[in-house]
Amino acid sequence: MPTVMIMQRMSVAMEYGVILKWLKKEGDAVKKGDPVVEIFGEKNEFELEAPDDGILLKTLCDVNDEIPISEPIAIIGKKGDEIPDIKPRKINEAAAPAAPAKTPTAQAVPEVKRAAATSKAPAPVLEGGRLRASPRARKTAAEAGIDLSQVTGTGPEGRIIEKDVLTIQSMAPQVAIDDDRKVRGIETMSPLRRTIARRMTQSAQNPHITMITEIDMTEVVTLREEINDQVQKKHGIRISFNDVIVKAVADTLEKFPKFNATLAGNDLHMFDTINIGVAMATDEGLIVVTVREANKKSITEIALATKELGRRAKANELTAEEMTGSTFTVSNLGPFNVDLFIPVINPPETAILALGQIKKKPVVVDDSIAIRSTMMASCAVDHRILDGAPAGQFLQSLKDTLENPFMMKM
């Protein structure tokens, strides 16, 4: 009895995987646990293992195919086993015209079993083969000429909603036009870049509002100098301004639970654990690493954690756990001499903080002009959940903490 090997969910936020390389070829013998294929999922590379002993009878995907979670990718069985006539849905072919998908029945493929996924997404199909989709999704798909059988549903019980159709529509190839401009080169987006593109498209579907303030960082500059005198001797590292800010953000989030949450349908899930995502630039693109339980860590412990995560990011050694599970993201472009920018929320989070460079400038203090170290900060929030007033209150509380930082745990 052949086994269908499926695309497995390797992290909580992973929705699809990109086939990078087949480690076994058709006809090769495999044992349960043998690496069969390399995939890219949610900004990291993984190896999927054989779910059973046998022969790799057939591979169902090509390199660079984007396969949703729980879709079949290969058949493993014994020599002479009948290979079932199944094909995976491919996200990168979603815009192409396709025949309506056939819904397999237990009678049609009695000899096939599927390898268990880490978390299987329910198929959006009702009895009789009718797709589970909202009326607005059907109308939008009809107008755009999109085959609903090629759309992955993100609504309740896998239901296809309008946002899913709009996401597919935004990924459709652009119509070529006559152009006499000389093309210098063509570069295919890497799997990481494609993941970023899809996540940012998803984020842009939701309404953002952004609050901006200026923070006096003079006391933080002094605090950092004092801490580094001790930390460098003991641990051989230097604490960055971002380490201090991450600690201040984590402490502030304890007072604002709706900023440390995610929206699931009509329910706002507020997390007890505060995991700060720290945006880091790599050669291939932006990644977000996770400092877990940052509110329970000292500034020094946060610095040690971020330095190690940064080292592992450069060496491409990050695990799925280190790149997922964040509940709020901090993005700092100060090291690139950026003064201010408007961030895009990292879904499924509800807010993100963006920071500019710290620089000296003349400011009015007690009716006198003084030279102070200042920094611009902007906080974008999901307007479905949060309004301007709580966003302003969050920034004000963070500002108070950073302007009086000596009460934080060192």
- Residue 179 has phi, psi (to 5 degrees) of -150, 125
Q: Which two tokens stand for residue 335?
A: 């090291």
Q: Which two tokens stand for residue 172?
A: 């459709």
DSSP letter (8 states) at residue 176: P
Q: Contact at 8 Å (CB) between 260 and 253? A: yes
* Rg from Cα positions in the chain: 25
How far, in Å, are 59, 97, 325, 358 from residue 328 at the CA level? 39, 39, 9, 22
Q: What is the CB neighbour count within 10 angstroms for residue 204? A: 15
- The helix or strand, by DSSP H or E, that contains position 280, with its residue range, turns out to be strand 276-281
Q: What is the CB neighbour count within 10 angstroms for residue 197? A: 14
Q: Which of 34, 53, 81, 383 is catalytic?
A: 383
**Measuring CA to CA, which residue among 115, 14, 61, 34 is closest to residue 324?**
14
How far, in Å, are 116, 130, 138, 201, 262 from residue 142 at the CA level? 34, 15, 6, 21, 31
What residue ranges in 93-226 does DSSP mark as E strands? 113-114, 208-216
Q: How far apart (Å, rounded) are the C-alpha atoms in residues 263 and 338?
A: 31
Active site residue 269: no
74 HSE (CA, 13 A, CB side):
30
Q: Please, is 77 exposed, middle or buried when counting C-beta atoms within 10 Å of its C-beta (0-12, 13-18, 19+)?
A: buried
Q: Please, is 324 exposed, middle or buried when counting C-beta atoms within 10 Å of its C-beta (0-12, 13-18, 19+)?
A: buried
Q: Which of 28, 235, 339, 387 is catalytic?
A: 387
Q: Please, is 147 exposed, middle or buried when counting C-beta atoms within 10 Å of its C-beta (0-12, 13-18, 19+)?
A: middle
**Type of residue at 108:** A
Q: How far apart (Å, rounded) are the C-alpha atoms in residues 289 and 76?
A: 36
- Helix or strand or coil: residue 245? helix
- The helix or strand, by DSSP H or E, that contains position 355, with its residue range, turns out to be strand 351-355
Active site residue 208: no
**Type of residue at 39:** I
What value, to the nearest 5°, has the Cα angle with vertex 119 and ends 43 and 92?
A: 50
Active site residues: 383, 387
